[in-house]
Structure 1
Amino acid sequence: MNTHFIAIGGSAMHNLAIALKDKGYQVTGSDDAIFEPSKSRLEMKGILPPEMGWFPDKITSEIDAVILGMHAHQDNPELARAKELGLKIYSYPEFLYEQSKNKTRVVIAGSHGKTTITSMILHVLNFHQKEVDFMVGAQLEGFDCMVKLTEDNDFMVLEGDEYLSSPIDLRSKFLLYQPNIALLSGIAWDHINVFKTFDDYIEQFRKFVASITPGGVLVYNEEDIEVVKVVEAAENYFRKIPYKTPEYEINNGQVYLKTEIGDIPLSVFGAHNLLNLEGARHICQQLGIMDEGFYEAIMSFKGASKRLEKVQREDNGTLYKDFAHAPSKVKATVKAFKEQFTKEKTYGFLELHTYSSLNPIFLEQYDHAMDGLDEAIVFYSEDALKIKRMEPISPDLIKEKFKNNHLKVFTNAEDLHAYWHTLDKATGAYLMMSSGNFGGLDLTR
C-alpha cells in the first residue's frame, strides 16, 4: 500500500508512519518543520522528507491513502492536490480504525489518566509476552515505537483522545474507533478553544459511550460524578464495570497496594495513579490477564514518559516532571506529590502556555490547585500571549484565580531562571508541571 503523510513530523503521525513502514507499506511524507526526536527516528527508517515544505507534485494518482495531520491547514497545497485527484484522505484516527476494524478494539478515554492507563496495560501485556496492536501517546520503556500494526494480532489497544481528528474532520478522535471494550477515566473540561462550554465537552463523551459496539464492555471510574452521569444516561447496550481507588499505604516512601494476595510494592505513587492502576487491572482481565499476573507485572511499571517522571540530576536532587497543565491534572499531581514527600520541603512549578490555561474564564478551574506546597510558582510568558493574540494577564489575576496569595508568579523566562538558580536543588523535592519547557530551563542541573 502506498501512503503519504501530510505533516509527518508530529509526535503521533511519525509513529504511525514508522509502524506502516515496518508493516511493509510504501511511506512518504511532508512537513514544514520536524523536530527531535521525530526527525532522527524518521531518518533512521529512511522516510524523513529530504527538504521541508509542501510539494503538491508529490501527490500522484499512485497514492492509495493520504493521512492528514492536525498540524496541516485546510488550505494546504498537498491537501488541495489530493482532493483534486480524488484520493482517499484519512485522518489519523480514521486510518487507525481501518487498520483495526477486524480486530477487538480496546479504547482508553478520559480527560486525565488515559495515557498512563494505556501504558500500564501495554506494560502488563508486554511483561507476559501477549502480542497486541496498539497506539499510545507517550514513550514507554521497552517499546521502540508507540504504534504497532500487524495483520495477525486479535486486539488493538488505543489511547482515545477527545481532540479534533483533522483540519477537515472536526469529530473527536475517539468517536472514530467504535470500541468493543472501553474505559472512561474521568471528565474535566479541557480544550476550551474547541469546546466552548462544559456541556459541549461532555457531549463528546456521551457520543463516545454511545459508540461502544452492541454487547461491548465499559470500565468506568465510579468516583467521577460526570462519568457516572454519562454512563447512567447511556441508552445503548453494553456491560458496565465500575472501579474506584484501591486500598494502599506508604511506608518509608514506598507505596504498597493492599490486595487479597498480599501487599504489592509499586514503582509509582499518588492516589490518581492507584486509581489508574485499578482501571488498567479491569481492562487486563478482559484481555485474559488475571489479578495475580497483573500484580506481578505492574510492580515494575515506572510510569509513562512525563507523568511524574523522575529526572536524574547531576546533584542527585529529587525532581519530577509531569505533563500536567489542565486543572484536574495539576490538582491530582500536586496531591500525589505532597502525599509522597511529607518530610521534605516541596516546590511546585507550573507553566501555563496552552490556549485554555491562559484563558481568564478557564483560569477559574485552577482554584486552590497549588495549595499545600511549601513554595508554589506559576510561570507564563507575556510573549506567548502576544503570539496567541490574547489579552494580557496580570500576576494578581493569577493569584486571584488560584486563590493563593502566596504564589510566586513569573511572566518572563529570564526572571524565572534567575529564581531557579537561587534554589539549592540538592535539598527539598521539586515538581515541574508543564507541556512546555519553562522557557528552556535545564532540569538536570
Structure 2
Amino acid sequence: MANIFDEAKNKTRVLVFSTHSSIAKLLHEVLHFYDKDFGYYLENDDFENPSSDFAILETGDIEKATLFQPSIALITSEISGETVIPLFSKITAGGVLIYHSNLSEAVEKSENFFRKLEFDHPQFQKSVAGFVLETNIGAIPISSSEEDLLKDIEGAKLLSQQFGVMEEEFYEPLMSFI
C-alpha cells in the first residue's frame, strides 16, 4: 500500500471513503453500464486496469485514504468529522470533495482549495421489492435492500457526474442494481 500514490500519480485519483462497500459497488455498476474506463484498487492492494486514466480506491481506512492523495473524494454519511480532517489536506488542490451534510462544519474548517459538493439523505420509502427513491424525475424503484446505500445515493450520483454520467442517466443502472 505504500506505493499506492506512485502507481496512480499520473491518474485522476478517486476515493470512496466509506465503511460500506455498497456505494463503491454501485459506482462500478454505473460506470460499467456506460462503458467508462477506470481502474480500481482491491483490498489486497492489487490494481485492476492500470492503463485507465482514473484510479478508484474504496476504503474506510484514513491512512490508506491520505496516502492515495485523491483528486476527487466521496465521503459517506457514517464517517465522522474528526475522522476525515487529515484527508482534507491531502485532496489535490482544485480537486472535488463530495460529502454528507453531517460533515459541513469539519469541511468548512479546511483551508485547502477544492470544490465542495454537499449532499443529504434523499427521500425514499421501503417497498416489497426494496425501496422507492423520490427524485426530481419521479419515483425510482430500487431492488437493493441496503438502506445504507440509499442514505448515500445522492453522493454516488454526484460522484458519477464527475465521470460524465448525468442525473437521469444515473438512475437507469440503479433500477437493476441489487
Give 1:178 shift.
1.0
Which position in structure 1 is the counterpart of 2:59?
Answer: 160
Seen in structure 2, the aligned counterparts of structure 1 residues 177 and 118 have a Cα distance that, compared at 3 Å, is same
Partners of 2:152 and 2:47 in 1: CA distance: 21
What is the SS of the residue equivalent to 1:299? helix
In the alignment, does 2:118 pair up with 1:242?
Answer: yes
Identity, % of aligned pairs? Answer: 34
Larger radius of gyration: 1
Partners of 1:117 and 1:273 in 2: CA distance: 6
Give 1:294 shift.
0.9
Give 1:136 shift.
4.3
1:221 to 95, 100, 105: 100
Which position in structure 2 is the counterpart of 1:256?
Answer: 132
Asked if the contact 2:12–2:55 (Cα under 8 Å) also holds between the matched residues in 1, the reply is: yes
Partners of 1:137 and 1:119 in 2: CA distance: 13
Equivalent residue letter for 2:86: K
2:79 to 176, 187, 193: 187
Normalised by the length of structure 1, the TM-score is 0.37
Equivalent residue letter for 1:157: I
Partners of 1:132 and 1:238 in 2: CA distance: 22
Asked if the contact 1:182–1:217 (Cα under 8 Å) also holds between the matched residues in 2, the reply is: yes
Which position in structure 1 is the counterpart of 2:11?
Answer: 103
Give 1:295 shift.
0.5
Which position in structure 2 is the counterpart of 1:212?
Answer: 91
Give 1:127 shift.
1.2
Partners of 2:128 and 2:59 in 1: CA distance: 36
Aligned residues: 176
Equivalent residue letter for 1:187: I
Asked if the contact 2:99–2:117 (Cα under 8 Å) also holds between the matched residues in 1, the reply is: yes
Q: Which structure: greater strand fraction? A: 2
Partners of 2:93 and 2:114 in 1: CA distance: 6
What is the SS of the residue equivalent to 2:84? helix
Give 1:160 shift.
3.2
Equivalent residue letter for 2:3: F
In the alignment, does 2:170 pair up with 1:294?
Answer: yes
Partners of 1:266 and 1:251 in 2: CA distance: 9
1:364-379 → structure 2 map (5 Å cutoff): none
1:120 to 11, 26, 42: 26
In the alignment, does 2:41 pair up with 1:135?
Answer: yes
Q: CA RMSD in A?
A: 2.1
Equivalent residue letter for 1:150: P
Which position in structure 2 is the counterpart of 1:176?
Answer: 67
Q: Could you give the per-residue CA deviations for residues 132-172 of structure 1, whole angstroms, max 9, x where no partner exists? A: 0112449xxxxxxx841323x11111113326xxxxxxxx1
Partners of 1:252 and 1:124 in 2: CA distance: 24
Unaligned 5+ runs, structure 2: none
What is the SS of the residue equivalent to 2:145? coil
What is the SS of the residue equivalent to 2:26? helix
Equivalent residue letter for 1:176: L
Asked if the contact 1:103–1:154 (Cα under 8 Å) also holds between the matched residues in 2, the reply is: yes
Normalised by the length of structure 2, the TM-score is 0.88
